[in-house]
Chains A and B, each alone.
Chain A
């Protein structure tokens, strides 16, 4: 069975600084997809970034980038130049062989002004 672990229930960062949210996973698949979703207080689920496991290059979307370590099964999210609007729950997820998303427990990100 696939699992996703987010070991940081809560992280805080000063506005304009950089923060890294960690995620590890377990899967027996050789090809899969990994995602980071953001859930602001409105509780909407917003896709932040996705990574295909067969691609070695780390995905980047503006201030958001990932450090994907396939051998270590690690998929951390780096947020540069943190902004107040980045405050949210962040969920790491893996797409399993049945095309279902398996979710981590989430990390609450607090931005200090």
Chain B
């Protein structure tokens, strides 16, 4: 069964450093998302991406965050200058059409120290 692949599975970074979280969505999917889940809290929407541009973003997705789909397969989330409160599980998701469930990746656990 097709999968959404996220790398790395766990990343530790120092506060203030830039991180790039990588995702390979399912190949025929058109809509891409990043969500995050701080330990013990709700899953939160960060951003949606369609047709090579951001379609929606939440208040969390401030200027420190950016997304890119540079080569038609990878979908990346960059955090420019990480803060301690960015520590969370980051999930990439994709879907093909509007009425299908999302397929989630296994997540990247980001720890900012």
Interface positions of A (Cβ within 8 A of B): 33, 35, 37, 42-47, 50, 52, 91, 93, 98-106
Cβ contacts under 8 Å, A101 to chain B: 33, 35, 43, 45, 102
Min distance, Cβ A91 to any Cβ of chain B, angstroms: 7
Interface positions of B (Cβ within 8 A of A): 31, 33, 35, 37, 42-45, 48, 55-56, 89, 91, 93, 95, 98-99, 101-104, 106-107, 109
Min distance, Cβ B92 to any Cβ of chain A, angstroms: 10
Contact in complex: A43, B107 (CB < 8 Å): yes
Cβ contacts under 8 Å, B56 to chain A: 98, 100
Q: Which 10 A-B pairs have the closest CB atoms?
A: A45-B104, A103-B43, A44-B106, A47-B101, A50-B101, A100-B45, A103-B42, A98-B56, A105-B42, A43-B89
Contact in complex: A91, B31 (CB < 8 Å): no
Most buried by B among A37, A43, A45, A100: A45
Given the contacts A33-B99, A98-B56, A100-B56, A43 and B109 also touching, CB distance less than 8 Å: yes
Contact in complex: B31, A99 (CB < 8 Å): yes
Min distance, Cβ A58 to any Cβ of chain B, angstroms: 16
Contact in complex: B43, A42 (CB < 8 Å): no
- Bound-complex Cα distance A52 to B100 (A): 10
Min distance, Cβ A70 to any Cβ of chain B, angstroms: 17
- Bound-complex Cα distance A52 to B48 (A): 22
Cβ contacts under 8 Å, B109 to chain A: 43
Min distance, Cβ A92 to any Cβ of chain B, angstroms: 11
